[in-house]
Structure 1
Amino acid sequence: MAGKLLDAHGRKASYMRVSVTDRCNLLCRYCASKERVFIPHDRILRYEEILRCMGIARELGIEKVRFTGGEPFVRKGFMDFVEEAGRRFPDLTLAATTNATIIGKHIDRLATSGLSRVNISLDTLDRDRYRHMTGRDLFQVVRDNIDACVDAGMTVKVNAVGVRGFNDDELPAFLELARTRPVDVRFIEFMPIGQDTGWSEGSVWTASDIIREASELEKLVPVAERHRGPATMYALAAGKGRLGVISPYSNHFCGSCNRLRLTSEGDLRTCLFSDRVFHLRKILRHPRLKDEHVVRVVRTALKSKPIGHDLLAAKRERGVCSTKMAAIGG
């Protein structure tokens, strides 16, 4: 089973995002479609099946697993699952992406579970805008939970989708958050993924514009990170935290992509910009099929992993992916 997971372009897969549910307690306008149709419960991977996939992935060279949704904490038993994953795979880097609306009671357990890194989605620091975007008046809950995660010793990244006409006037407030708290504030370019999201070319607040505008407000110091991810990071000369930008739309990083995605429905996706999936759930539930059959599908999937930016260039006008982001896992 051992051996590097290399695709046809020579890229090594070392990072797997695992969606544990497509359900969410928010209805962010750029993420979910207007009609909320959830995957039936019997088609959602069981926790034990996810753990089995994690074990296989580790043997194949996966080093980091991030749990996503939907909102992972809405799934019953998620915290128990995280602790079990930490016990079984102490050598894996475990992380989670959350909207931080319901994690308050779990923060102390999270900090000792083996999962010490959280990405918190927060697109605005204005309470009224937050309510408008998400449909819920939970901004202060999220803001308090960011502080609680930091105080518990966790690594915290605050992710904001940059949207022209929505939050492009809030850069000073986000810089103030990074200046006063030891968090990474990262802006992600709005992408044409899913349907009914309101995306348009003019709504994209590009990474280059964000950095140019931020440089007029704060002295930014480029950071050369040892393990380069999709974000370009800058330290604040007079701050505790950092500013970052992720540019999948204007300046792609597909050439160094190291990701696989396991959806909550048990499908393997090799590219966020592609609707192509490779089915694992039936293999995992078949009494006579073993781990080697899963490995075979994973390796087959890697062989056809595309350069996502090519898909974006070809389908820019009608969107690159019809699947809603909540079902993919981001």
Structure 2
Amino acid sequence: MESRTALSSRLDSPRLADSFGRVVNYLRVSVTDRCNLRCMYCRPVQDFKAIEHSDILSYEEYLRIIKLAVPLGLSKIRLTGGEPLARRGFHRFLDEVMKAAPGMDVRLTTNGTLLAGQAKTLAGLGLKAVNISLDSLDPETFHRITGADLFHQARSSIDECLEAGIRVKVNAVALKGLNDHELPAFLELARTHPLDMRFIEFMPIGGDTLWDDTLYWPASDILERAGQLAELSPVVYGDEGHGPARMWQIAGGQGRLGVISGLSGHYCLTCNRLRLTCDGRLRPCLYSDTEYRLRPLLRSEKSSDGKVLEVLRRALARKPMGHKLLAERGRRGVCAKSMTSIGG
């Protein structure tokens, strides 16, 4: 337990840091919990109830938080959901974020199905990178995983973004028995296109999660098989560090292969992120349902920016080590909230 003196010192620090000394410079902002897909690993329950519109933060409220956080060392903002492009006025909001955080690394996470015809506009607003979820290169399997027959829309969005000069990371949740046989096709996608193809281990997020051992395809197995299909060389990072993905160059290829081993090989020691849910809650750790409410402060006439910042700092000061929570609770429903409500 951190002492009162140490906590006070940390709250007064000019940068965002937690009790383990991890400097947080990455804010994930969920602009909606609504999505036009129903992916089995994200929102599997049939009785999912979206958050009431009145409880969703306004774009102006998001911008207030972002403007307060930028001077504290924030360097990266990820706009996510749900599906962010499903929210009306998103382009205007992105433009305002770019103005509020000039020079900031602002990125978008999307399922790509609503992106058609928008890549050039997004690039014109200053967006330089996008993460596109694509769990299968087969339309039928895509439909089975996502609950929607929208594969071709998602796939074409990758080409559209690349043509617009936007850097693309393709994310596929690794699902044994569903998309593991497609590894050669995914490798070929990375070999022939200048993009990062990343496999994310299926994690037991959500009280009604469908996670189980039969679907779990660990990163070690992915890399072993990929090494048999292509010559891979690990990407070496400098002092600037990197996110949770471990990346490999593909010999003779334009793109790279990556794995995010959130279950088999935690990256908590270097976690540099904080999540803001669409209903105005700060979530310091993906695996913990402990959240700190900002919406009441943002909507109170008596609240000041100082009070908002105090909540932000206190949330970070109590940021836990997620892998310990995972070990304590086992591999089923490590937290009650679903991914679509947390924010990708």
TM-score when normalising by structure 1: 0.98
Asked if the contact 1:34–1:196 (Cα under 8 Å) also holds between the matched residues in 2, the reply is: no
Query: Is 1:30 the counterpart of 2:30 in the alignment?
Result: no
Count how many residue pairs are aligned between Structure 1 and Structure 2: 330
Q: Distance in 2 between matches of 1:40 and 1:202?
A: 35
| 1:2 CA displacement | 6.9
* Cα deviation code 1:120-168 (max 9, x no counterpart): 0011111001111112111111111100100110010000000111111
Q: How does 1:193-212 map to 2 (within 5 A)?
A: 193-212=205-224
Query: Is 1:132 the counterpart of 2:117 in the alignment?
Result: no
Q: How does 1:225-304 map to 2 (within 5 A)?
A: 225-226=237-238, 227-304=241-318
Counterpart in the other structure of 2:330: 316
**Residue 17 of structure 1, aligned match among 28, 48, 57:** 28
* Cα deviation code 1:281-307 (max 9, x no counterpart): 010111121111011001111111100
SS at match of 1:203: coil
| 1:197 CA displacement | 3.1
Classify 1:307/1:179 alpha carbon distance in 2 versus 1 (closer, same or farther; 3 Å): same
Q: Distance in 2 between matches of 1:315 and 1:116?
A: 39
* Cα deviation code 1:158-210 (max 9, x no counterpart): 00000111111110000000011001000000000013332013321111111
Counterpart in the other structure of 2:165: 153
Residue ranges of structure 1 left out of the alignment (5+ in a row): none
Counterpart in the other structure of 1:162: 174
SS at match of 1:187: strand
Counterpart in the other structure of 2:59: 47
Percent identity of equivalent pairs = 51
**Amino acid across the alignment from 2:254:** K
**Amino acid across the alignment from 1:313:** A
| 1:59 CA displacement | 1.5
**Amino acid across the alignment from 1:105:** G
Asked if the contact 1:185–1:243 (Cα under 8 Å) also holds between the matched residues in 2, the reply is: yes
Q: How does 1:209-224 map to 2 (within 5 A)?
A: 209-224=221-236
Asked if the contact 1:73–1:98 (Cα under 8 Å) also holds between the matched residues in 2, the reply is: yes
Asked if the contact 2:29–2:77 (Cα under 8 Å) also holds between the matched residues in 1, the reply is: yes
TM-score when normalising by structure 2: 0.94
Q: Distance in 2 between matches of 1:174 and 1:7?
A: 37
Q: Distance in 1 between matches of 2:208 and 2:314?
A: 32
Asked if the contact 1:158–1:186 (Cα under 8 Å) also holds between the matched residues in 2, the reply is: yes
* 4+ aligned runs moved over 3 Å, structure 1: none
Q: Distance in 2 between matches of 1:6 and 1:90?
A: 22
Asked if the contact 1:79–1:106 (Cα under 8 Å) also holds between the matched residues in 2, the reply is: no
SS at match of 2:117: helix
Asked if the contact 2:208–2:333 (Cα under 8 Å) also holds between the matched residues in 1, the reply is: no
Q: Distance in 2 between matches of 1:249 and 1:317?
A: 9
Asked if the contact 2:209–2:332 (Cα under 8 Å) also holds between the matched residues in 1, the reply is: no
**Amino acid across the alignment from 1:309:** H
Asked if the contact 1:90–1:114 (Cα under 8 Å) also holds between the matched residues in 2, the reply is: no
| 1:87 CA displacement | 2.1
Q: Distance in 2 between matches of 1:265 and 1:220?
A: 42
SS at match of 1:235: strand
| 1:105 CA displacement | 2.4
Q: Distance in 2 between matches of 1:154 and 1:70?
A: 21
Asked if the contact 2:208–2:336 (Cα under 8 Å) also holds between the matched residues in 1, the reply is: no
Counterpart in the other structure of 2:16: 5
Counterpart in the other structure of 1:93: 105
Q: Distance in 2 between matches of 1:10 and 1:132?
A: 43
Query: Which is worse superposed, 266-275 or 112-121?
Result: 112-121
**Amino acid across the alignment from 1:158:** V
Residue ranges of structure 2 left out of the alignment (5+ in a row): 1-11
SS at match of 2:181: coil
Q: Distance in 2 between matches of 1:2 and 1:55?
A: 18
SS at match of 1:105: coil
| 1:316 CA displacement | 1.3
**Residue 69 of structure 1, aligned match among 81, 84, 88:** 81
Q: Distance in 2 between matches of 1:57 and 1:117?
A: 21
SS at match of 2:73: coil
**Amino acid across the alignment from 1:172:** P
